Amino acid sequence: MSRQRVRDIEFEIKRSHRKTADIVIERDGRVLVRAPKSIKSEHIHRIVEAKSYWIYKNLAEWKDLNATRILREYSNGEGFLYLGRSYRLLLVSRQQEALMLRDGRFCLRRDLAEKRGKRSIQAAFREFYSARGLERIVPRVRYFAPKIEVVPKRIAIKDLGHRWASSSPNGNLAFHWKCTMAPPKIIDYIIVHELCHFRHADHSDAFWNEVDKVLPDYRERKEWLKKNGAAMDV
């Protein structure tokens, strides 16, 4: 991807075999232009110029939403999300697993908090969410795929950076481990959204019509994710 600028708008260009160009604001605040391989850079610059008001508006919204990001402490009583609910953290001395959800609490081994530090704790949470994510997401993918008439192959849970999910042309799906923090209906939205990309690679009207067939209230779910996504972190 190449990084370019129009006025004070810095953006990246990602070229592919798509037919049309569109602009998205990524979860990390980057402006991304997804364009056909055949389109000239001068034409992309004109598109960015024409959409500058939309870009400024959405970047302002992104800043407001990310102002709600929560900086959590790894101490007794801190709240961590799982399937849309907040569970208090409890440091325990005797526990084989690094992190467990038990009796309505996230139980974290005390030695991780006191000796190994932040990275080890975050790794424990990532491992927990990844394992639970597979348990939750795989059956829901199998439930929704026939409704959209697609046949996904491999399903993985991983760190996708600024993306909630991704799909590949060969039928593979990947979901961010943070998805497991969201309420079940929001996880379903992320799954349906990605499955519909097997039929429509872009976010055209045809794509959203496909989503609407399965989840008529997708706009509500999409808006929830937009407003609350920044708080889904450890």
State the 10-residue block means of pLDDT for the chain, 234 residues long. Answer: 77 86 82 88 89 85 66 85 94 90 93 81 94 95 96 92 85 94 96 94 89 96 88 84
Q: The tokens of 135 are what?
A: 């348990």
- For residue 219, the model assigns a pLDDT of 95
SS3 of 215, please? coil
- For residue 132, the model assigns a pLDDT of 93
- For residue 128, the model assigns a pLDDT of 95
Judge whether 33 and 55 are in contact, CB under 8 Å.
no
Residue 7, phi-psi category: left (phi > 0), alpha (psi -120 to 50), beta (remainder): left
The label of the residue with tokens 């929560």 reads 70
- For residue 65, the model assigns a pLDDT of 59
- For residue 175, the model assigns a pLDDT of 96
| Amino acid type, 127 | E
Q: How far apart are CA 5 and CA 162, in angstroms?
A: 21
CATH number of 119-231: 3.30.2010.10
How many CB atoms sit inside 10 A of residue 153's CB?
Answer: 9
CATH 3.30.2010.10 in the chain, residue ranges = 119-231
Q: How far apart are CA 185 and CA 204, in angstroms?
A: 23
